[in-house]
Amino acid sequence: MESGSPNPRETPEELARQLLLCLEREEEALRTAAEAEILAAARDQEALLTRLAAWQPPPEGGYGGGTAAQAIPAGLRRRLAVQAARNRALLEAALETIQDFLHLLAAPGPGTYEPQGRLTTGGGGSLVHRRV
């Protein structure tokens, strides 16, 4: 995907279609944990959004002086919103899984010694336990 300055011939609808393809690529990368592709999709999204933000209607008109968002058909805007929400849900689920796993790896909290000299921990769902 090319970044740089906006092409005056690019329409907001074309940019939005490219953004939708990029979001779909990102979804696939999230599902397969393809880190390099996730990062590439993020860079491409940033470039596309920058070009959309910089878009100006051509001087000869044809867009009624509206904004780029107004020049994108409502159905395409909905598809973009649905895809972005789907990707956000995947990211939130992945982060939640990572946090749960990190919690399992955490060392157990401080414990107390029993009369037999064994250390009893304060509980917790840790996978890693130290022996004393």
Strand partners, 113: 119
Chain centre distance of CA 76 = 20
Count of the separate structural domains present in the chain: 1
Q: What is the pLDDT of residues 37-93, one digit of tens each?
A: 999 999 999 999 999 999 888 777 666 667 888 889 999 999 999 999 999 999 999
Question: Does residue 2 fall inside a structural domain?
Answer: no
Are 30 and 94 spatial neighbours (Cβ–Cβ below 8 Å)? yes
The residue among 48, 34, 35 whose CA lies nearest residue 84 is: 48
Name the residue with higher pLDDT: 94 or 123. 94
Whole-angstrom distance, CA of residue 83 vs CA of residue 76: 11
> What Cα–Cα distance (Å) separates residue 61 from each residue in 16, 58, 65, 71?
20, 6, 7, 12
Q: What is the domain extent for residue 39?
A: 12-120
In a domain, 6, yes or no: no
Residue 129 lies in a domain: no
